[in-house]
A = this chain, B = another copy of it.
Amino acid sequence: MPMSARHQRRQARRDERRDELKQAAIEIFHEHGYHAARVSQIVKKVGVAQGTFYLYFEGKQQLFAEIISDFLERVVTTVASWEPGAIDSREDLRDELTRVGLMLTHELLNHELSTAIFFNEAMAVAPELNELIRHFYETLQAMLSDFNRILCQRGLIAPMDFTILASMTIGMVERVIMERVVYGTLNEVEPRAIVDHLVMHFLTGTLEAIGPASRAGVPEDEEQPTDAALPLKA
């Protein structure tokens, strides 16, 4: 059933306005937080009447949930793009981790506001939403656990509790991203450097130096501890 051109145009305009409202909402939610955000501020930003809002969204909370949902979907999609198939060595692993890490980082940095909203507000809005978020983390953990198990089977990582490992990995990434997006602490660090640190820490903890990415705080002049100094467990 082909739609009429007229209907299509209408639909396009509808979608456009919907996006406008959603974008405005993201900005307002980011600025004030969910609870202090007012629907009146959102519609004012777009320049439409209060009632118009409800032509496009069921309500404030549903819109917030949608924003969070969009965000979660982007993250899952990105992480799911992992391709374990061709990974045969630790080099391959590092490269693949770096690839996915960069994708994820770019994704999150490209949607800074949503990212910040997610970390700051999402858990404090409504029980239903918490369910959604819980489900997201479960999915993520399952995916990572599975990956890790595969890697372990291939002898690429040591055996351990992969659920805990998954949590640790998620936490590392999350916190680093938060620092950058929410607080701006790591703004002057290249995303690449961040990803390098994440990947290397996953691979070798604090065993290996991460050279070129180093910045302030690294004792450059001082004699670097040699690898030899690192007593690897037999």
Is B170's CB under 8 angstroms from A35's CB?
no
Number of interface residues of A (CB under 8 A): 83
- A208 interface hit (Cβ, 8 Å): yes
- A231 interface hit (Cβ, 8 Å): yes
Q: Which one of A4-12, A19-27, A99-107, A216-224 contacts B?
A: A216-224
Copies in the complex: 4
Contact mask for chain A residues 139-174; partner B; CB cutoff 8 A; 1 contact, 0 none: 001000100110111111111111111011011111
Instruction: Point out the residues of chain B lying under 8 angstroms from A222, CB to CB.
Output: 153
The residues in A between 207 and 221 inclusive whose CB is less than 8 angstroms from any CB of B are 207-211, 213-219
Query: Which residue of chain B has its CB nearest to the CB of A121?
Result: B124
Is B201's CB under 8 angstroms from A165's CB?
yes
Instruction: Point out the residues of chain B lying under 8 angstroms from A207, CB to CB.
Output: 157-158, 203-205, 207, 232
9 example contacts (A-B, Cβ-Cβ < 8 A) are as follows A156-B229, A157-B206, A158-B224, A159-B210, A161-B210, A162-B217, A168-B197, A168-B198, A207-B232
